[in-house]
Amino acid sequence: MKPQKKLLNSVASCVDEALCGLVRANGGLSLLKGHRVVLRSDLDNLKGKVALLSGGGSGHEPAHGGYVGAGMLSAAVAGGVFASPPPASILAAVMSLHNAGASGVLLIVKNYTGDRLNFGLAAEQARNHGVTVDMVIVAEDCAFERPSKAGRRGLCGTIFIHKLAGALAEEGASLDQIVAKVTEVLKGIGTLGVSLSPCSVPGCLPSFDLPPGDMELGLGIHGEPGIKRSKVASADEVVKTMIDHMTNPDSQSHLPLKSGESVVVCVNNLGALSCLELAVVTRAAIICLEKQGLVVARVMSGSFMTSLEMAGVSLTLMQANDETLRLFDAKTGAPAWPNLGCVCASGRSHTKDPSAILQSAQVQENAHTEGPLSPVMRSALERVCSTLLEKQEELNALDRAAGDGDCGNTHAQAARAIQDWLQSHVVPGCPGKLLSVLAGLVQEKMGGSSGALYSLFLTAASGHVTEGHGDAAGWARAMHAGTQAMRRYGGADPGDRTMLDALCPAVEELMKVTAAPPGGPMAALKAAAQKATLGAESTRDLTARAGRASYIAAERVTLPDPGAVAVAAIFTAVLESLQGMTS
């Protein structure tokens, strides 16, 4: 079976060429040089207003770049096809908006782990640069009656949030006001999709197999499985099935609609449905909603958040009142809402340089001076790196039992990157600066979810141990802040069989130093290292509820979690290093 034919130049260049095509065809858009970031061309108009940033994987066009413009998004960041965008590009976009004079930046993020992690990491980094940032997670999928821990997926309802938040920002509403409004509106938005065909990422085979004559209800925008398969029925029957499922009160993810209420409906082409079919489905949706006693206040019908060439449709419903409709109807310059541009494509500069603020911040980060703590931190780091390199094969072996077998390799990559850095740099006397450096190193060199998680931890921790605040209590609070960031953006908790099962009990022990425990900081660190080791060992008996191991049958996962073992090894290495220096 050959990959699906597509009208492209190359798999490698298709995302960048598509973004270039978008901005060349629309006078109100620009590209941020060196990043897959689409910006408003008139960034000066953001002064004193809240800027909106969204994004995600490519392949969902016209989302998200098509919704950049006055009255909607200020910028959008694109990942590879169906892949979350990298934190560096998200941060570059945030800093560009901040540099333009925005009073704050709101990140609008669909509920997928990669997006939460990468946008979350960029948000933490931006806060450390002095940017006022907040994040709204869109999770409006109505497919699953009992959603898993991962929660509901973010689908086409996201563009309603772009529109309403954009209208509020244009009017000068504050960041807190916008977050409060869209958080309330999100409770009244629901989406459900149905597909008659799979889709295929460029260069790959179809994402799933759907026999001719079958359709799948409730699937995601990346081809993730839905809730049931059945034979293709008439458009009226399919739409009634969808709306009945979306409004079924027995489902935890249903949309509570009452007779007499007003709704906005979006009939969204998932990619390859013909315009004729889409119009038939639109008619069916309006009639079906009216039969349920609902007032259809507004209808959108077209391609708004696609899934490459998937032949299917999603329905999004939003409860509407006068204020919601006022914001929905407000003018926007975003080309995909749609609006037509009148600027000649030739002769226009369509790129902007990355934010000077970001570059100056990077220069400042490289100018470090040593302090009294520098030798202690260097020694501890060297011990951590050598320990992780010694444990490389052990961690790989543990990971082969429940993952892809590379946990040791990823930790070793981080250790080698830190060793290389230590050879050519002084260790800054300010612990927070060191943690920021380490966050950047693991983000760049470690890769994967582990790199994002460690970088999140270090980034969130760095603000709590500044010059003159590197005492034991400060370190404990920093470790606690880092752990909370991991939990917030990673979506896991203690007991889910992850690195948190070693980290959380250790940090809990460390926090006792804030109340002057008997034995002092070293006793607390020793107890924390012991708790980390016990926590890692306890993962033998836990069922994985997060990470790759959660996809493996529980009876096959009998060894400790490799991430938890690595955390325990790090605590032990720090303890041994400090004991060696004080003995």
417 in a structural domain: yes
Q: Residue 98 catalytic?
A: no
Helices (H), 491-561: 500-510, 520-538
AA letter at 254: H
Residue 535, token pair as written in the block: 């926590």
Give yes or no: residues 142 and 253 share one domain.
no
**167/199 same-domain check:** no
Give yes or no for a contact between 465 and 475, defined as CB atoms under 8 angstroms apart. yes
> Could you tell me the CA-to-CA distances from 438 to 376, 407, 422, 445 in Å, in that order?
16, 18, 11, 10
pLDDT value at residue 347: 46
Task: Classify each residue of 422-453 as buried b or exposed e, where b means 16 or more C-beta atoms within 10 Å of its C-beta.
Answer: eeeeebbbbbbbbbbbbbbbbbebbeebbbbb
Q: Is 178 a member of any domain?
A: no
**Do 429 and 374 touch, CB atoms closer than 8 A?**
yes
Alpha carbons 378 and 160: distance in angstroms, whole number: 50
For residues 390 and 294, membership in a common domain is answered with: no
Burial of 239: CB neighbours in 10 Å, binned 0-12, 13-18, 19+: buried
3-state secondary structure string across 74-99: CEEEEEEECCCCCHHHHHHHHHHHHH
Q: Residues 35, 222, 411, 480: which is the catalytic one?
A: 222
Q: Which residues of the chain have pLDDT under 50?
A: 340-348, 361, 363, 553
The answer to whether residue 1 sits within a structural domain is no
The confidence score (pLDDT) of residue 341 equals 35
Strand order in the sheet with 228-231: 228-231, 214-217, 189-195, 312-320, 262-269, 295-302
363 in a structural domain: no
**Pair (437, 554) in one structural domain:** yes
CATH code of the domain covering residue 29:
3.40.50.10440
pLDDT of residue 363: 47
Q: How far apart are CA 399 and CA 409, in angstroms?
A: 10
Mean pLDDT for the chain overall:
90
CA distance 490 to 492: 6
Same domain, 503 and 406: yes
Written as six digits, the tokens of 171 are 């009017």
Task: State the CATH number of the domain containing residue 306.
Answer: 3.30.1180.20
Does residue 169 sit in the same domain as residue 197?
A: no
Answer yes or no: is 352 within a domain: no
Q: What is the DSSP letter of 293?
A: T
Q: Which domain holds residue 272?
A: 190-329
For residue 368, being part of any structural domain is answered with no
Q: What is the pLDDT of residue 546?
A: 63
Last residue of a domain, one of 329, 344, 361: 329
Interaxial angle between packed helices 374-390 and 562-582, expressed in degrees from 0 to 180 and rounded to the nearest 10: 140
Query: How far apart, in whole angstroms, are the C-alpha atoms of residue 416 and residue 399?
Result: 20
pLDDT, position 32: 97
Q: Does any domain span residue 345?
A: no
DSSP codes joined into one string, 404-451: -S-HHHHHHHHHHHHHHHHHHSPPPSSHHHHHHHHHHHHHHHT-HHHH
Q: How far apart are CA 312 and CA 219, in angstroms?
A: 10
CATH code (residue 387)? 1.25.40.340
CA atoms within 13 A on the CB side of 115: 28
Residues in CB range of 326: below 8 A, 6 or more apart: 167
**Backbone torsions φ then ψ of 543, nearest 5 degrees:** -90, 125
- Same-domain check for residues 166 and 205: no
CA distance readout (Å), 219 to 111, 144, 149, 194, 254? 15, 10, 17, 6, 16
Amino acid at 371: G
Which of helix, strand or coil describes residue 353? coil
Known binding residues for substrate are: 57-60, 110, 115
Same structural domain, 240 and 323: yes
Same domain, 99 and 194: no
Q: Do both 443 and 571 map to the same domain?
A: yes
Last residue of a domain, one of 307, 329, 351: 329
CA distance 459 to 564: 20
The number of domains in the chain is: 3
Residues 169 and 227 reside in one and the same domain: no
The pLDDT tens digits for 155-198 are: 999 999 999 999 999 999 999 999 999 999 999 999 999 999 88
Residue with the two structure tokens 């600066």: 433
Question: Considering the domain boundaries, does residue 3 fall inside one?
Answer: no
Binding residues: 57-60, 110, 115
Do residues 104 and 98 make contact, with C-beta atoms less than 8 angstroms apart?
no
Task: Give 509: exposed, middle or buried? Use CB within 10 Å, 0-12, 13-18, 19+.
Answer: buried
Domain finish residue from 110, 144, 173: 173
Cα dihedral sign, 179-181-182-183:
positive
**pLDDT recorded at residue 346:** 29
Helix (H, G, I), strand (E, B) or coil at 136: strand
560 & 413 share domain: yes
